[in-house]
Amino acid sequence: MRLVFAGTPEVAVPSLEALLESRHEVVAVVTRPDAPAGRGRKLVASPVARRAEEAGIEVIKTSRPGEPWFLERLAELAPDCCPIVAYGALIPKAALDIPRHGWVNLHFSLLPAWRGAAPVQHAIMAGDDITGAATFQLEEGLDTGPVYGVVTEEIRPTDTSGDLLERLARSGARLLVATMDGIEDGTLRPVPQPADGVSYAPKLTPQDARVDWSAPALRVDRLIRACTPAPGAWTTFRGERLKLYPVRLRTDVTDLAPGALRADKNTVLAGTATCAVELGDVQPQGKRRMPADAWARGVRLTETDVLV
């Protein structure tokens, strides 16, 4: 089939790679416009745009896929199908109607669970044991279309959203190629999603990623892992923001008040509503990431210091 692939971040690159290696022809890529990045805030092309340029494929950059110039170019390309992975904008009906097999979205959840922008992060926060990826026929509703296929993935106790997305990006890429094959062969028909089991996963804001030390330790652990690497879990220490990386539950320590700190030569503990957690790496505001014990020595931690 002739394909126009739509995607933007790094997690979409394995799918593009897999399609480039498949029997299908990727004739163009749609991605969001260059965005500022790094300390210099220079405009940088998306990971998908960079990979497509390396492969010599036409790159169409837009955040408004309903604009007439885009619809005209998409019609000229005459794709049979448009696979899409984390593109970052809604696709209007005028664009959905152009390819004869429509648009097929790879979503990183077991639909109808966790419809929305941050399914992996919400699955970790909720304490799910299993998640997965699904391919479905894109329609105007939010992740409501009928499903072509799924793959499942265990959520490990130490998984961050970055770890889990990396595995799902690889297994999902294989699923996306298999879905394209099945659609072309006429052997695959999408199945409507069940009405039960619907849940939503809106994008997490920086405020969502602030640790509440009055919560149970298990919830603190899940929030930090879900927000790593983005948007990044944080707390405040002496009035300044302190970024947190994954912690370890310390069920043997139950005498620390929520947010209270205790440090020895090698460990830094923080209290929660239940047991303590052992801090992993931290990143003070404006400084580099470092192990918590090195940070504690540097700030000369006292018995009255707390995380808020």
Q: What is the pLDDT of residues 54-102, one digit of tens each?
A: 999 999 999 999 999 999 999 999 999 999 999 999 999 999 999 999 9
What is the rounded average pLDDT of the residues 6-29?
Answer: 98
Domain termination site, one of 201, 229, 256: 201
Statement to judge: residues 69 and 83 lie in one domain: yes
What is the rounded average pLDDT of the residues 233-258?
Answer: 97
> Which residue reads 């992060």 in tokens?
121
CA distances from 56 to 20, 29, 47 (A): 11, 10, 14
What is the rounded average pLDDT of the residues 236-250?
Answer: 97
Q: How far apart are CA 48 and CA 15, in angstroms?
A: 10
Domain termination site, one of 201, 231, 252: 201
Sheet holding 281-284, edge to edge: 233-237, 240-244, 281-284, 290-291
Compute how many other C-beta atoms are within 10 angstroms of the C-beta atom of residue 30.
Answer: 28
Closest CA to 11 of 119, 158, 96, 139: 119
pLDDT digits (tens, 9 = 90+) for 146-196: 999 999 999 999 999 999 999 999 999 999 999 999 999 999 999 999 999
pLDDT for the residue numbered 265: 87
Rounded-to-10 torsion of CA 110, 116, 118, 123 = -40
Range of the domain at 183: 2-201
In a domain, 304, yes or no: no
Statement to judge: residues 226 and 116 lie in one domain: no
Statement to judge: residues 218 and 85 lie in one domain: no
Query: Residue 37 — pLDDT band, cuts 50, 70, 90?
Result: confident
Residue 111 in marked binding region: yes
Query: Residue 26 — pLDDT band, cuts 50, 70, 90?
Result: very high
Q: How far apart are CA 183 and CA 148, in angstroms?
A: 9
pLDDT for the residue numbered 41: 86
Domain termination site, one of 201, 226, 245: 201
